[in-house]
Amino acid sequence: MADYYETLGVERTATEEEIKRAYRKMSRKYHPDIAGPEYEEKFKEVNSAYEVLSDPDKRRMYDAGVDPNDPNAGSYGASGPFDMGDIFSQFFGGAFAGGGDSPIPRTQPGRNAVESLTVTLRTAVFGGTQQLEYHTLGVCEHCEGTGSEDRKSPVTCPQCHGTGHVQKVVRTLLGQMMTSAPCDRCEGHGTIIEHPCMVCHGHGRVHTTRTVDVPVPAGVSDGMRVRMEGQGEVGECGGRPGDLYIDFRVRRDRQYTRDGDDLHCWISVPMTWAVLGHETTLDTFDGERTLDVPAGCQPGQQIELKGLGVTHLGGDGSRGDLVVHIDVRIPTKLNDRERQLIDEFGQLRKDDDRAVDAQGSKPVAAQRKGFFSKIKDAFS
């Protein structure tokens, strides 16, 4: 029995999320369109392993020692290898279970797919549309999804006569008994395609690369997932497609940092702006905006620009705020004239006399110095 855990490179205790991540990694690594046609069998092994380990019932069967992908294991069912009803059905052809096994439908639904999409912070602020290219299973254009080279419908299997199973007599310690197994001629479908498609080999679908326009909701955050109905794998022989799940990743911006629906940025201003006040412009996601640096602005002071943040997800279109953090640049080199002016200003302000501000019972804050006292200390 194949070791599906080893195929995906995970431990037997792996969680569903770990199995999904491993599958995405392996499927990209061994996809024939990427790795080459010589890896097609390896790609099929990866898909078979994921088909079992991603289904809780099939994984439970596999852990109990039964391979759900083995046609001879089909009679055990999802409840494990010791289901008595299934055992009677295995030996007596359904006589004790109220009827024989049914043929496996040739038309099967496609599986869901999960892909990641990275968007810019600007796109997260306003929303938009972004293209995503991914590998999946699509309709075989050669046979138009029928699986038949001549487009003809499947015919009844002459070996099992449409039941999908054949009965055999086996010798046991209890004597001769009748057992039922999937028909090897039609693989349990009850029908056969007389002339299978040369491209898809009768499955009606092929590996392909698809490009879709993904709607990015305004206010999307890192790790958010959305569903695109019908954009997953196409089912076999015309089966309905699965869904596509998009996991969003928001790329870090060079200028702005996001905190919830607020945006934060840091700007550095000359000390003269901080003392006298100044009007400047700031490049935002909404274009240039006027920023008023108030007179007496302190290092670390925050200025809020209302409504220039991220759009509230699923709301009325309102947005968070843009918070500007002010950093004051204190010059590190002064000529004699500049030093004299700073010293004279400090004497006029009597900063030395006001170096200690009484702050009641706050001893740490009581040691805070005035702005120009800090400047004088920096040049001492």
What does the block give as tokens for 4? 């599906």
Whether 167 and 177 have beta carbons less than 8 Å apart is answered as no
Is 297 among the annotated ligand-binding positions? Answer: no
Spatial CB neighbours of 278, under 8 Å, sequence gap ≥ 6: 269, 272, 292, 293
What does the block give as tokens for 376? 């004088």
- The Cα–Cα gap between 38 and 63 comes to 30
- The Cα–Cα gap between 163 and 191 comes to 9
Spatial CB neighbours of 263, under 8 Å, sequence gap ≥ 6: 125, 256, 257, 285, 308, 309, 310, 320, 321, 322, 323
- The Cα–Cα gap between 107 and 281 comes to 63
Is 237 among the annotated ligand-binding positions? Answer: no
- The Cα–Cα gap between 68 and 78 comes to 9
- The Cα–Cα gap between 301 and 78 comes to 64
Of 208, 262, 209, 220, give the one whose Cα is nearest residue 130. 220
CA angle, corner 120, sides to 116 and 122, nearest 5?
140
Whether 99 and 236 have beta carbons less than 8 Å apart is answered as no
CA angle, corner 109, sides to 108 and 113, nearest 5?
135
Is 265 among the annotated ligand-binding positions? Answer: no
- The Cα–Cα gap between 23 and 9 comes to 9
Binding site for Zn(2+), by residue number, is 140, 143, 157, 160, 183, 186, 197, 200
Summarize the annotated binding site as residue ranges: 140, 143, 157, 160, 183, 186, 197, 200
